[in-house]
Amino acid sequence: MRQARSGGRARRRVGAIFAIPLVLFLLGLTGLVGALLVDGPADVAFSLAAACGLVTFAVVRRPGRR
Partner 1 sequence: MRTGTIRAWGWIHKWTSLVCTLFLLMLCLTGLPLIFHDEIDGALNPASWQPANPGAEHLTLDEILDTALDNRPGETPIFMSFDIDRPVVNVTSGPSADAPGSAMHFASYDLTSGDLVPPADAGESVMEFLLQLHTDMFLGLPGMLFLGAMGFLFVLSVVSGVVLYAPFMRKLDFGTIRTNQSTRLKWLDYHNFLGIVAVAWLLVVGLTGVINTLEEPIIDTWKAQELADLVAQNEGGETIVPRASLDAAVDEAIRAAPGMELQFVAFPGSDFSTSSHYAVFLHGRSPVTEHVIAPVLIHAATGEVAGLREMPWYAKALSLSRPLHFGDYGGLLLKLVWAVLDILTIFLLVSGVYLWLARGKRRMRVERQPLAVESGPA
What single DSSP character describes residue 64?
A: P
- Name every residue whose Cβ is closer than 8 Å to that of residue 57 and which is 6 or more positions away in sequence: none
Is there binding between residue 1 and partner 1 (CB under 8 A)?
Answer: no
Q: Does 37 bind partner 1 (CB under 8 A)?
A: yes
Question: Around Cβ 25, how many Cβ atoms within 10 Å?
Answer: 13
Smallest distance from partner 1 to CB 47, Å: 4
Residues found near partner 1 in the complex (CB under 8 A) = 6-7, 9-12, 14, 17-18, 20-21, 24-29, 32-33, 35-39, 43-44, 46-48, 50-51, 53-54, 56-57, 60-66
